[in-house]
Amino acid sequence: MQITAVRAQGAGLVAKWQGCEDPEAAQAMKGWRVAVSRGQFPRLPAGQFYWVDLIGAQVVNRSGLVLGTVQGLRNNGAHDLLEVERHGAPIPALIPMVAAYLDGIDLPERRIRVDWDAAW
């Protein structure tokens, strides 16, 4: 599909598609997935990451303990959260992606270092 217009709205984007001229046409597209070729992603400044690049990364705390693997990310309105699937735990750990807890991200190694206790 061809994009005919796009604008920022809050933290996201709103796009208009060719052939989607009224609310009924838009409703017919509800549930569709939108994909963008990785080659079209803008280059990010140092210290910024695309969420998709963090999924599957191993999360390790300062003691060297592997806490789990990033299964997803979400935003709680104040900041982003890593959803970390913990080995043997029924619910994921939600680790805030703020300087107080995030020590570093090594994309080539697929590792995220955090100041986070395994019992939290």
Q: What pTM did the predictor assign? A: 0.76
Domains of the chain with CATH codes: 3-35 (no CATH), 51-114 (2.30.30.240)
- Summarised one tens digit per residue, pLDDT across range 46-82 is 888 999 999 999 999 999 999 999 999 999 989 999 9
17-44 pLDDT per residue, tens? 888 889 898 898 888 888 888 888 889 9
Q: Give the C-alpha separation, 117 to 63, whole Å.
A: 9
Pairwise CA distance, residues 14 & 79, whole Å: 22
DSSP β-bridge partners for residue 8? 13
